[in-house]
Amino acid sequence: MAADDASTSSPRRRAGGGFGLRSLAALSVLVSGVIAFVLASSALKLVREELHHNCGMPPPGSEGAGTWICSDGIGYLGMAGILGMGWLTVVLAGSLIALLVRHDRPARLALVILAAVSTAWILGLTWHGSSTQVQDQYAPLTGAEYWVGAVGPAAVISAIGLAVGMVSLQPTGPLSRLLGIGATVLLIVAAVLQPGLSLNLIPAAGLLAAAVVRGAGAMSGRVTREAKRSGAPR
């Protein structure tokens, strides 16, 4: 009987948190995706009005000099589609990982990596657009300088948040949870600083929150196993 108990409990030792915690983790990703979708229009506002993608200034002395003149809205549909694909992929993949991956450690690692991908997606796209799609010959700043001014602070805070999120995977117990929560808050702060990044930063924050939930599952499972071990007959 003891051998049977050991064999049946072995998968439980290797498995992660219960279905309830996995569902809660997946819900955090889905909710963050919905919030990001509601704020999606801010991304196009950032690209057009703050970063001036596909916009330019006429030469000095000409009509409209000193003001931004942008091409028609068709060019922004492509950017909206690219950002939207990144949003949808991250939200769907993250919710599936949070729900279906039974082992907490690989699930947490995948969620944090996906949060980094989501953040790099929008930062990289906006940087590329600012470097190549701004007609800044007669502008007071270059396209890259506009990006640094509008996105730079949020990008720095996002990078710190993701670094903290990666560090949170190493320790266990309350410290790991505290670091995970701190990483989530930092990404939310970055989204508040620059709402135009919300489409991909808010889901990244949801992914980090899901990693915290999965970490709680790992800790509760460890406590349960220790309790069973201490109460086992000798």
pLDDT score, position 8: 43
Nearest to residue 209, comparing CAs of 158, 165, 175, 154? 165
| Residues written for the chain | 234
pLDDT score, position 153: 97
Which is it for the CA torsion 97, 99, 101, 104, positive or negative?
A: positive
pLDDT score, position 17: 56
- The model carries a pTM of 0.83
pLDDT score, position 72: 66
3-state helix, strand, coil in the chain (%, to 5): 75, 5, 20
Distance of CA 216 to the CA centre of its chain: 20
pLDDT score, position 217: 65
> 3-state SS of 95-107?
HHHHHHCCCHHHH
Separation CA 212–CA 97 (nearest Å):
14
pLDDT score, position 165: 96
pLDDT per residue rounded down to tens, the chain (234 residues): 444 444 444 444 444 558 899 999 999 999 999 999 999 999 988 998 899 988 889 888 887 778 898 876 666 677 778 888 999 999 999 999 999 999 999 999 999 999 999 999 999 999 999 999 899 999 999 999 999 999 999 999 999 999 999 999 988 789 999 999 999 999 999 999 999 999 999 999 999 999 999 998 665 544 444 444 555 454
Nearest to residue 118, comparing CAs of 176, 203, 206? 203
pLDDT score, position 149: 96
pLDDT score, position 12: 44
